[in-house]
Amino acid sequence: MSKLRFRISMSLDGYVAGPGQTVKEPLGIGGERLHEWVFPLEAWRRPHGMKGGVVNESTPVMADELANIGATIMGRNMFGGGPGPWNEADPWMGWWGRNPPFHHPVFVLTHHVREPLAMEGGTRFTFVTDGIESALAQARHAAGGQDVALAGGARAAQQYLKAGLVDEMQIHLAPILLGGGERLFEDAGALQDLALVKTVHAPDVTHLKFVRT
């Protein structure tokens, strides 16, 4: 059975983005500190087209996270381009350039209809306007038997968590305080049978893996 696997970086005070998110600061003020643990890793640099990098305790966690993923779901805010209807004259293409690092179908939750967007390297963005269950069904179909990644952000994750649809959750806990922004576990209900099964201590991050019991 294809699983829905959610992974996200969160600060010790529970934020997955800093305050004041804008087009220029998509992660909000200080939000890039959530991800400082990942940028030096060889396991992150390689799929982003860069050579070299560090191998440490986070490396097998990243390998596990990337393995057997056939499609990704994300919220509109994570895809970016601001809220509201899409600008047809100057369409937003995502944060990731011409060749995004997904290399598989990506389903974007939005209230605004838009034609699918095919990028280089196998990434194809499909915009889903009929809710989280439809996006999950479409992503599962597109994944062809592989699992589906839920990439965030906070509101998309809250909806899937509350609906009890998440099979696996990997929290990359950054030992920092952001003091404001988007909180992951705000009105998220219960953990819905997700149990902590593994903790990994790595430089600048603690990885907490939860699975459905």
**For binding to a second copy (CB under 8 A), which residues are involved?**
12-14, 171, 173, 175-177, 179, 184-191, 195-196, 198-201, 206, 208, 210
Peptide bond into 153 cis (omega under 30): yes
Structure tokens at 123: 């990434």
Q: Which is nearer to a second copy, 13 or 115 (CB)?
A: 13
Q: Which is nearer to a second copy, 2 or 58 (CB)?
A: 58
Taking alpha carbons only, the member of 150, 153, 159, 173 closest to residue 69 is: 150
Q: Which is nearer to a second copy, 54 or 188 (CB)?
A: 188
Structure tokens at 166: 């998440």
Q: Which is nearer to a second copy, 39 or 95 (CB)?
A: 39
Could you tell me the strand order of the sheet in which 4-11 lies?
117-118, 124-128, 105-109, 69-75, 147-150, 4-11, 168-174, 205-212, 194-202
Taking alpha carbons only, the member of 141, 147, 143 closest to residue 169 is: 147
Q: Which is nearer to a second copy, 27 or 161 (CB)?
A: 161
How many other β-carbons are positioned within 10 Å of the β-carbon of residue 128? 21
Helices (H), the chain: 42-45, 58-66, 76-79, 132-143, 154-162
